[in-house]
């Protein structure tokens, strides 16, 4: 096997509902993937070693002792072992210094900690998993945005995470669609024109909840059709997040968005509509690069 294809590490993304392990080459390429619907909430007490072994045993048998670097909710207090948050400001070296090493037969298992932060008002914030994307994004000064259920806007200066702000964009979208009167107005197939309407509404006065109610009244008064309701809410929430994110006290530098699929399409459309230049990175590639950098900081360069 060529040296470029030799495995360097096993990268593990272990969240609430799913476990995904990737065998990664020394060049950062994914050689193989092994996954299971065994998120942390489905693992009984003491069962984490057995579940992990079930997805990585073949690689350990084939290649011998490899570092297994894990991130995500597996490091929460409901996970395998709690990895205490590293407080911001924090660098990759600070993350590496707080890596938790877990005894495991046949492999060196390292658990990456999350980050915590308190803003100027004292409001606390936390992340688990996104810190790997920060490490893998490859920017020293600027802003990293990680869209999702709880979107993060992360400020970096000279390689140090100064702080971050979370927006419950995805959670609010699901709540509005599934648990309010607005969801009863939504129709399929969706009309993407509603997304543009939502972006425009995000700029209007009255705030988020007022403009969300506008989805109902717009349908009742014939200004908008049911197929536009879902995209409208998405545009409203993403637009509100971006406008508030841009208003944060952030360092000068580029804005990098770590997203793919529908998140990339929607955020690209929103940033473009607002005239904001951003660069996109692939989440999986960034995750792997980040784990490799944290591993190197913890253990030293690979031989």
Amino acid 1: pLDDT: 44
What residues does each domain of the chain span? 3-139
Question: What average pLDDT does the structure give for the chain?
Answer: 95
Amino acid 247: pLDDT: 95
| β-strands 115-118, 86-87 pairing | parallel
Domain 3-139 falls under CATH 3.30.420.300: yes
DSSP state of 85: P
**At how many degrees (to 10) do helices 207-220 and 193-202 cross?**
140
- Helix segments in the chain, DSSP class H: 48-63, 92-97, 130-137, 169-179, 181-185, 193-202, 207-220, 229-246, 261-273, 283-299
Residues 266-273, mean pLDDT to the nearest whole number: 98
Residues 16-31, mean pLDDT to the nearest whole number: 96
Amino acid 302: pLDDT: 61
- 302 — phi, psi (to 5°)? -65, 145
Q: What is the pLDDT of residues 138-177, one digit of tens each?
A: 999 999 999 999 999 999 999 999 999 999 999 999 999 9
Per the listing, tokens 């950098």 go with 293
| β-strands 279-281, 254-258 pairing | parallel
What does the block give as tokens for 256? 């990098």
What SS3 class is residue 82? coil
Q: What is the pLDDT of residues 201-255, one digit of tens each?
A: 999 999 999 999 999 999 999 999 999 999 999 999 999 999 999 999 999 999 9
If residue 256 lies in a helix (H) or strand (E), which one and from where to where?
strand 254-258
pTM of the complete model beyond 0.85: yes
Residues 261-277, mean pLDDT to the nearest whole number: 98
Give the C-alpha separation, 212 to 208, whole Å: 6
Per the listing, tokens 């072994």 go with 53
Q: State the greatest distance between any 2 C-alpha atoms of the chain, in Å, as a whole number.
A: 68
With a pLDDT cut of 90, the percent of the chain lying above it is 96
Amino acid 282: pLDDT: 98
Residues 60-73, mean pLDDT to the nearest whole number: 96
Residue 303 in this model has a pLDDT that exceeds 60? no
Residue 3 in this model has a pLDDT that exceeds 70? no
Amino acid 5: pLDDT: 72
């Amino acid at each position: 096997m060529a040296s470029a294809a030799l495995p360097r590490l096993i990268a593990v993304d272990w969240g609430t509902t799913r476990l995904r392990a990737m065998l990664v080459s020394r060049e950062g390429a994914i050689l193989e993937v092994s996954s299971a619907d065994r998120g942390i909430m489905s693992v009984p007490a003491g069962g984490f070693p057995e579940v992990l072994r079930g997805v990585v045993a073949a690689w350990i048998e084939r290649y011998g002792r490899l570092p297994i670097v894990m991130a995500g909710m597996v490091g929460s207090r409901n996970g395998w072992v709690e990895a205490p948050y590293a407080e911001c400001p924090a660098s990759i070296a600070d993350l590496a210094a707080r890596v938790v090493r877990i005894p495991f037969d046949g492999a060196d298992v390292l658990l990456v900690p999350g980050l915590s932060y308190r803003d100027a008002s004292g409001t606390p914030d936390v992340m688990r998993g996104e810190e790997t994307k920060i490490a893998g994004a490859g920017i020293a000064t600027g802003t990293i945005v990680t869209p999702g259920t709880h979107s993060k806007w992360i400020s970096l200066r000279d390689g140090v995470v100064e702080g971050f702000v979370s927006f419950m964009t995805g959670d609010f979208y699901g709540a509005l669609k599934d648990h309010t009167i607005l969801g009863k107005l939504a129709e399929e197939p969706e009309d993407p024109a509603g997304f543009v309407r939502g972006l425009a509404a995000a700029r209007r006065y009255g705030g988020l909840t007022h403009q969300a109610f506008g989805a109902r009244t717009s349908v009742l008064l014939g200004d908008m059709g049911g197929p536009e309701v879902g995209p409208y809410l998405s545009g409203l929430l993403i637009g509100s997040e971006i406008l508030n994110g841009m208003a944060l006290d952030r360092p000068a530098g580029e804005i990098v968005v770590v997203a793919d699929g529908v998140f990339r399409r929607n955020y690209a459309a929103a940033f473009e509509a607002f005239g904001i230049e951003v660069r996109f990175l692939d989440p999986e590639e960034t995750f792997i690069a980040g784990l490799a950098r944290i591993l190197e900081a913890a253990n030293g360069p690979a031989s």
